[in-house]
Structure 1
Amino acid sequence: MSELAKLQSQFMDYLLTESLDGQTPLSQGAAEFQARIADQQGIGADVRLQIYANAYRIRLKETMETDHEMLGLYLGDELFDKLAAQYTQANPSRFRSLREFCDALPDFLQQDSFFSQYPILADIARFERRLLSAFAAADTSRASFSELQALAPEYWPNCRLRFHPSVQIFICHSNAVESWQALKQAKAPAAAEYQSRRAWLLWRGTSRLTEFISLTEEQLLLLQGFIRGENFASQCELMLEFHDEQLAPLKVLQALQAWFTMGIIRSVEVS
């Protein structure tokens, strides 16, 4: 390792390990880097380094505020500050891009001794991560319903769907999404409740805006099956759990037509 690379590594080590309370001993690399810094114009080396460390943490907190704006509103300033400090300490950024910095936030909220007392927090954070993933997904062409209609009848039973990369399914057992929506509309969210399972479909529409809708249990099972690669015939059979033999294929066809209109189908494949 060159001297410059070693110096850069030690500096990053300092930024990642310098403790919030100033009491935890520095790692060897961080301590070696600190020893290289000279006092300047009456400002000690430790103070100069602390300025960098504070600025670094502020930037990470700003990333959390941007990525998880509604979570921040739900928590309020004091608790969000607590979350930002503890998460940054437990999960210092080790990525070149800040886009991945908060990927572990839902799990942190679910496992932390304090925040885990409120499961809706992890659900809100996970929903916001899904929104970000949908927005940042790669773009591809989108199929039209006419492509499905053009298939000869003998090909329909074995046709399968491929979905746009932005398609996400979010499932939780709280009113996290409803609370997120209320906050987005500058309204007070209802009290947290955990009475039933909720499912949502998220995707980036043709206008490049992220969209989402709630799913019934029937819609969820149908969508999950097609995402897994099940064909049209097997999905019609699945719908027999909810409808009679005449209505089941129609329900599948109606769902497909809606999905094509929403722009979530990338292609139709026949085997």
Structure 2
Amino acid sequence: MSDFARQQADFQRGILTGDDTVLAEILDSPREKRETLYGVYRYAYGSRLVEALRNDHELLHSYLGDETFDEMGHAYVKARPSEHPNLRWFSQGLPEFLRSAEPYCNHPVLADLAALEKALNDAFDAAEGELLDLTAMAAFAPEQWNDLTFRPHPSAARLDLSTNASAVWMALKNNETPPDAATLEEPARILVWRQDTTPMFRELPAEEAMMWDEAANGIPFGVLCEMLATYDDPDGAAARGAGYLHGWITSATLTAVSTSVLR
């Protein structure tokens, strides 16, 4: 390693870990000590990463306020140093950090709010995909429907929230006072996707969430209807399944359909 490369490595390590070895090779200026000069770089690095967190989690920032968000952000920077040259991916671990780190884990709405914003960001950046339409479904004969399987759009994802974070998100988005944070008796089952260029989400009833999760795993429509029959009126299971499917297609959450014969 050249001497310059070693200095660069020492400089970077000092910023990332607090190692002061590189200070021995930095000169004081006529006005400031080397510790102060080098501290500017340390502060700027952390502040830039916190700014990236603000950009990715605007509503979490609004919920916490400047001071608390920045305090949380710097704690995240220290706990989860950036490992990717693209700042877009720096905030990916924020929901898990908020779920596990004190004092934030004592307020689960924070992790849920971060997870919802992350899912919406991921939906916006997800790959393009062909959209399944109702015309394509009409091409299948009735006897083929039991074997139909579906592929979610690349932007579609499911998450469960233990709190009323979705109501908090909606209030913040509309510049309204958010409701008090509350833990739910049952998780809110959220489907996130991108419609045209806009990230969307909605809460699913338990039955539909089950059907979506199983359909996303390649379970054919006939088996899905059998599973629906265990939730409610067995005689109406097929109709309910067709209704959920119609909603997924018209809201642009599916990209392909196939049958076991075609596979």
**Gaps in structure 2 of 5+ consecutive residues:** none
* Partner residue in 1 for 2:55: 66
2:191 pairs, out of 198, 201, 208, with: 201
CA contact (8 A) 2:229 2:235 kept: no
CA contact (8 A) 1:16 1:93 kept: no
**Gaps in structure 1 of 5+ consecutive residues:** 19-25
* Partner residue in 2 for 1:12: 12
| Comparing 176-185 and 148-157, the one that deviates more | 148-157
2:220 pairs, out of 222, 226, 231, with: 231
Matched AA of 1:226: A
The alpha carbon displacement at 1:104 in A equals 1.7
> Aligned with 1:102: secondary structure?
helix
The alpha carbon displacement at 1:38 in A equals 2.4
Q: Distance in 2 between matches of 1:245 and 1:86?
A: 52
The alpha carbon displacement at 1:2 in A equals 4.5
Q: How does 1:215-226 map to 2 (within 5 A)?
A: 215-226=204-215
TM-score, structure 2 normalization: 0.92
C-alpha offsets along residues 44-90 of structure 1, whole Å, 9 cap, x if unaligned?
32222111111111111111111111111211223212212211121
Q: How does 1:137-148 map to 2 (within 5 A)?
A: 137-148=126-137
TM-score, structure 1 normalization: 0.90
* Partner residue in 2 for 1:22: none
CA contact (8 A) 1:162 1:227 kept: yes
1:40 pairs with 2:29: yes
Give the % identical residues: 32
> Aligned with 1:173: secondary structure?
strand
Q: Distance in 1 between matches of 2:206 and 2:118?
A: 23
* Partner residue in 2 for 1:86: 75
Q: Distance in 2 between matches of 1:63 and 1:189?
A: 24
Matched AA of 1:8: Q
The alpha carbon displacement at 1:7 in A equals 3.4
Q: How does 1:239-258 map to 2 (within 5 A)?
A: 239-258=228-247
Matched AA of 2:189: A
Q: Distance in 1 between matches of 2:103 and 2:23?
A: 34
Q: How does 1:67-216 map to 2 (within 5 A)?
A: 67-196=56-185, 197-206=187-196, 208-216=197-205
The Cα RMSD (Å) is 1.6
* Partner residue in 2 for 1:21: none
Q: Distance in 1 between matches of 2:205 and 2:241?
A: 14
Q: For residues 3 and 231 of structure 1, do their structure 2 counterparts lie closer, same or farther at Cα, with a shift above 3 Å needed?
A: farther
Q: For residues 6 and 142 of structure 1, do their structure 2 counterparts lie closer, same or farther at Cα, with a shift above 3 Å needed?
A: farther
C-alpha offsets along residues 139-185 of structure 1, whole Å, 9 cap, x if unaligned?
11112121121012332111100111110112111101101111111
1:269 pairs with 2:262: no
> Aligned with 1:129: secondary structure?
helix
> Aligned with 1:195: secondary structure?
strand
CA contact (8 A) 2:98 2:111 kept: yes
Matched AA of 1:54: Y
